[in-house]
Amino acid sequence: MGLQGLRGSLGSRGSTGPTGPSGSAGTPGVTGPQGLQGIQGPKGDSAYPDYGYDREMVFYTSSSDGLVYAGPGSWSAVYGAASGEIPISSTIVVGSDSSYYCRRGTLYFDTSPLPDNADIESATLHLFGKSDETSTYVAFDLVVVDGSSIAEPPTAMDYGYLGSRTAKGGYFRVNSTADNWRTTRYNIIELNATGLGWINRTGPTKFGLRSSRDISNRTPTSTEQVGMYTSEEPGTDRDRAGGSCERMEPTRPLAAILFQAFNDTTIGSPS
């Protein structure tokens, strides 16, 4: 799905003098103080037209999100399979179990509304937990991997492709002892520099999700997987109503991207 909204508001154009109080912009050429929702005001010198803005755009995943899986069978055959199967499900499950099933997730975001010159500063994935089937004393990382070449919607061959993706673009540490995978709110993954490099400014951004124990080819001896809502989950077709991600009614996956752009008239101009 496309762009759903922006958080925060623009600061006003800076004027000569010391940094103003919270909510107003500061000295020309200096970043203004943080405004609503932590979004910064414009910065630049009044003598030059290239003002920069910090913006946060929020994108919901498309209806193509889902998972591919293989199993049962011997773990070596399941792990190295070139293709898998696509279940009919409104839940993304990532991980494996002692019956030697292995599950890998797919996420798609239309990030083309980002300005072509956007300097992306940070991005977070927000995954609303639905289930935690991880056995006691098991811990693993839910890892974001490159999904740039997966089909949309996913195909059976994407199982093998995701199996070849091992670089971490960010991760969430699932710890069954701490019971930290929440099924009543969003679980947040901050993308690292590698993950930020996978964001597409001119088309869809595609991510895969794998368990770190899958990546390291660890034969499962128990259930070690978590589930999350998809865009197909009933009741998740409502737009973001505002406020923090913790208070949103929708439960489908989303990506929040903070960026800075210069001389871009498509996102407004200083007042």
Task: Say what the pLDDT of residue 124 is.
Answer: 96
The secondary structure element, H or E, covering residue 194 is helix 193-196
**178 within domain boundaries:** yes
Any idea which of 202-206, 231-235, 240-244 has the lowest mean pLDDT?
240-244
**127 within domain boundaries:** yes
Higher per-residue pLDDT: 250 or 224: 224
Range of the domain at 223: 59-258
Rg (CA), the chain: 21
Higher per-residue pLDDT: 247 or 56: 56
Half-sphere exposure (CA, 13 Å, Cβ side) for 152?
19
Angle at 185 between CA 203 and CA 64, to 5 degrees: 30
Task: Say what the pLDDT of residue 234 is.
Answer: 58
Contacts for 134 with CB less than 8 Å, ≥ 6 apart? 95, 140, 174, 176, 181, 223, 224, 225, 226
**Entry pTM:** 0.75
Would you place residue 265 in the very low, low, confident or very high pLDDT band (cuts 50, 70, 90)?
Answer: very low
Average confidence (pLDDT) over 136-162: 95
**201 within domain boundaries:** yes
Domain count, the chain: 1
Q: For 4-31, what is each residue's pLDDT tens digit? A: 333 333 233 333 344 444 433 333 333 3
Task: Say what the pLDDT of residue 184 is.
Answer: 85
Q: For 44-103, what is each residue's pLDDT tens digit? A: 333 323 345 568 899 999 999 999 999 999 999 999 999 999 998 889 999 999 999 999
**13 within domain boundaries:** no
**20 within domain boundaries:** no
The secondary structure element, H or E, covering residue 259 is strand 254-262
**8 within domain boundaries:** no
Peptide bond into 33 cis (omega under 30): no
Peptide bond into 154 cis (omega under 30): no
Q: For 158-202, what is each residue's pLDDT tens digit? A: 999 999 999 999 999 998 777 789 998 899 999 999 999 999 999
Task: Say what the pLDDT of residue 263 is.
Answer: 54
The secondary structure element, H or E, covering residue 202 is none
The C-alpha atoms of residue 102 and residue 57 are separated, in whole angstroms, by 33
Residue 107 three-state SS: strand
The C-alpha atoms of residue 132 and residue 174 are separated, in whole angstroms, by 9
**152 within domain boundaries:** yes
244 token code pair: 């923090």
pLDDT at 150 exceeding the cut of 90: yes
Residue 149 three-state SS: coil
CA–centroid distance for 42 within its chain: 26
